[in-house]
Structure 1
């Protein structure tokens, strides 16, 4: 499944478009003055269709998967504004085309010496109408461009979502168990976008690296956090929640436990792991362990410690949801290398 925003046909800015069309006039001729001016208006009218193609190529908001609909809401700030702007752009494009068609007809029925004057009048009126869409075109083009760059996520594929507080090692883990190659650094908030990798366990499984989330109410979360929460809430699959039990985590035990409770409230399959176990702060480790009811894996994504056991848990989860468990393969043995398909480690 493609990112539904990838195929949006983003149109030119209104002023750039009008300037370009004005410059094209001299290159358009005809056998007579009347024919020339009609052809000029017709060319303008046909090229205005770029704005209608943009509206037609934009996904229907109500038909989007909840993940992508929420992604659009996060990027735009308002789905209502998206709907209104698309309507404004389409309405003004159609009205401008009708004006041009009307002036083409007027030129046909008027004395030839009035043809150039009518062409200029029609071009000016149509341009004035198009300018009414200027702010909407600029704004929604920016939103569309941002969304078109997002990684394609297929809500129908088995999905693993790696979540947790900032600097918990999520990106490192995703890079070790899948084909994804997110940016990795030893400081918090490195991940600002959703990253997607894949593994092949007999079936293709997508693995999603989410930005770190902070222990605070939804209304106080920033755009980066909202992207992570969107994936957790609107994609079905297995959530791997990483605790950071290193010597100096961004969050202490209490805040990390609060985040786990929020994630558990979603009611989705959950795998809990203590990351950075090789450099553990024993006080934090013991405090969290005493308050977690779930089975806990202790791993080090960076050193590769415990990853075989984690992959085994992923395999067990896949068996529990698979209609044909016999078709599954050991997730630890096979990964997907982008562009070259399945490869054995």
Structure 2
């Protein structure tokens, strides 16, 4: 059985990449050092080898392209016509022909220049001939660049074609667009074809597989076909026509009797009669879909007549060469892919009809006699008149009886779902969690369980005066809240003088303006740059301006200014105690309290040094995930040990692919001449 796998076709490079690949290989695989002091025969051989090697590489690469692309005359007619529909076989053959011509031209160029190189009289002449030969070969490749690009596009498209075996058991689904073909294949196979409520959702052939009687069947979903002349059909419709014409398959013609597809039964019947010639020698069945919207008995008399005519045509379809007419039962079937009513019966009927047809064809073939000669069915002959009834061992009968009892008990046992249905259904029935308790007495499961603590009933420890004490506590809490409420002061403006009320109104107005300004700035904070305070030209954020504003309101700004200054982040020099206190008391003895100048300097240096120094790496800090300092030191030690190999390999991490030596000497120092081992 021939299998077509177009995914294995080698990638076709474009013209520029093709030249780069071949010339790079020539440079790497042939000698690169030659001197004018060599014998002329050696120089000729050096350049002849380069020309021949380049020609052979071009020949092999082009031959691979020609051999791997399928020949339309040698493959199955289904694939031949499908490729013609998709790509136009004239353009396809022309592109491959140009590749073949380029291959012959390159061989001819190489042959001519090798002849000229045999008579080269100097290194310069041989090198010029070599350059000319390789240049002409590359020119030939560049001229077929469009053909190479065209073949690469075809290769990519062919790799996406479904893998269809033309010779296996196949079920083909056809009909008008949007009649339920893709929904049917999704129901009976594991295919995932896109289903949408509009026409021509399926634009190419889709393949799924299903099983029937332990045999694998191939199900093909074809795009929708419209009833119009053959020459007016587009590529999408021609894919379906090609599959119907060349595949030996059971054909399911889908008929939408509800009309929701946008086409009437008359239009679908006209399509059936226009393509009925493609149904010859194939099992044909008419499937009336979407019976959930419109049953078959509910259609009009005219439509019933059209369906009957289609059924008669299907009855006339011949199963094989000289075969009998099909049976009436399996010709017209009804189903609904939405409710899945009749889907399995349609699949089984199609598989059964196809299987019977394939068996009849094999029975009529000439190979049957050759197969029957290999078979011998042995029939035992009766040797006496004794009766020998079947004997079943007692152990087997006992095992059967036990199994039957177990099955009967299993059927009698009520499941949780049955109990739920009997007791009101979901949302009403609550499953009992106590029925699975392992207790000495089954009746104990439904007992009311007291709360037990340390072997005693919890109710034994309930304080009988707890409610009275709770009331006393609430009363005491209420009194305390009343006392605190008297101390609270809320500025509602009722007890203020007119001047104070005016100041309060001004403060509240200013506060609302500041809130609004802050919200505006917050909304534009991402796009607004931050301006340092020293570049504040408008002087909006100075303590003097704040003092003037508070003074204008009749308030003393001294406390606010001092509070703002106290929030400065700069470090202040500690004042010595020799200055005295604020009450005018004299300073204490300097020698008793103030340290010496040298001590103060050493202390300030130590403080500055401690401020600038960071914590040691091994210092233990709670919250880092370590139990104590030795555990942290051990973890640091293991980390350093694991990093040794990465550091040795000059890698930052495990996934680093760094190359320490960008130009290794053995790749950039030339070739070694014969008899020497040192590098150039």
Asked if TM exceeds 0.5, the reply is yes
Tell me the equivalent position of 1:216. Answer: 228
Distance in 2, matches of 1:262 and 1:64, equals: 29
User: Of residues 165, 168, 175 in structure 1, which corresponds to 2:176?
Assistant: 165
Tell me the equivalent position of 1:81. Answer: 91
Shift of 1:39: 4.9
Tell me the equivalent position of 1:9. Answer: 10
Pairs within 5 Å for 1:47-126? 47-48=57-58, 49-77=60-88, 79-104=89-114, 106-107=116-117, 109-110=119-120, 111-126=122-137
Larger mean Cα displacement after TM superposition, 60-69 or 35-44: 35-44
Q: Aligned to 2:353, what secondary structure does the other structure show?
A: helix
Shift of 1:209: 0.3
Q: Aligned to 1:278, what secondary structure does the other structure show?
A: coil
Distance in 1, matches of 2:296 and 2:285, equals: 21
Is this contact kept in 2: 1:177–1:199, CA < 8 A? yes
Q: Deviations over 1:164-201 (max 9, x none)?
A: 11111111101111232222222221111101111122
Tell me the equivalent position of 1:276. Answer: 290
> TM-score, normalised on structure 1?
0.84
Rg larger in structure: 2
Is this contact kept in 2: 1:165–1:242, CA < 8 A? yes
Q: Could you list the runs of 5+ residues in structure 2 that have no partner in the other structure?
A: 36-42, 312-330, 361-680
Shift of 1:319: 3.9
Is this contact kept in 1: 2:190–2:208, CA < 8 A? yes
Distance in 2, matches of 1:39 and 1:11, equals: 26
Tell me the equivalent position of 1:204. Answer: 216
Is this contact kept in 1: 2:18–2:141, CA < 8 A? no
Tell me the equivalent position of 1:330. Answer: none
Larger mean Cα displacement after TM superposition, 243-252 or 276-285: 276-285
Q: Aligned to 1:279, what secondary structure does the other structure show?
A: coil
1:292 matched to 2:303? The reply is no
Q: Aligned to 1:208, what secondary structure does the other structure show?
A: strand
Distance in 2, matches of 1:56 and 1:63, equals: 12
Shift of 1:247: 5.1
Is this contact kept in 2: 1:75–1:147, CA < 8 A? no
Gap change, CA 1:25 and 1:60, over 3 Å in 2: closer
Tell me the number of residue pairs that the alignment of Structure 1 and Structure 2 aligns: 324
Pairs within 5 Å for 1:29-44? 29-32=31-34, 34=43, 37-44=47-54
User: Of residues 233, 252, 260 in structure 1, which corresponds to 2:245?
Assistant: 233
Distance in 2, matches of 1:303 and 1:109, equals: 85
Shift of 1:46: 3.0
Is this contact kept in 2: 1:107–1:118, CA < 8 A? yes
Distance in 2, matches of 1:282 and 1:156, equals: 35
Gap change, CA 1:131 and 1:112, over 3 Å in 2: same
Q: Could you list the runs of 5+ residues in structure 1 that have no partner in the other structure?
A: 325-345
Gap change, CA 1:117 and 1:285, over 3 Å in 2: farther
Distance in 2, matches of 1:179 and 1:21, equals: 45
Shift of 1:104: 4.3
Shift of 1:285: 4.0
Distance in 1, matches of 2:67 and 2:61, equals: 10
Point out which structure has higher relative CO (alpha carbons under 8 A, 6+ apart): 1
Shift of 1:296: 2.4
Shift of 1:241: 0.9
Shift of 1:249: 1.6
Tell me the equivalent position of 2:261. Answer: 249
Distance in 2, matches of 1:192 and 1:284, equals: 33
Tell me the equivalent position of 2:325. Answer: none
Q: Deviations over 1:125-158 (max 9, x none)?
A: 1122223423322223322332232111111111
Gap change, CA 1:316 and 1:19, over 3 Å in 2: closer
Q: Deviations over 1:219-238 (max 9, x none)?
A: 11111111011111111111
Q: Aligned to 2:337, what secondary structure does the other structure show?
A: coil
Is this contact kept in 2: 1:25–1:40, CA < 8 A? yes
Tell me the equivalent position of 1:180. Answer: 191
1:128 matched to 2:139? The reply is yes
Q: Deviations over 1:58-109 (max 9, x none)?
A: 22221221111101111222x2333333222112112213313443454454
Q: Deviations over 1:11-43 (max 9, x none)?
A: 211233124445666656434264664454344
Distance in 1, matches of 2:151 and 2:18, equals: 16
Distance in 2, matches of 1:87 and 1:234, equals: 27
Pairs within 5 Å for 1:12-27? 12-22=13-23, 27=28
Q: Which has the higher strand share?
A: 1
Shift of 1:312: 2.8
Larger mean Cα displacement after TM superposition, 237-246 or 138-147: 138-147
Is this contact kept in 1: 2:266–2:306, CA < 8 A? no
Is this contact kept in 2: 1:238–1:269, CA < 8 A? yes
Is this contact kept in 2: 1:195–1:210, CA < 8 A? yes
Distance in 2, matches of 1:246 and 1:36, equals: 80
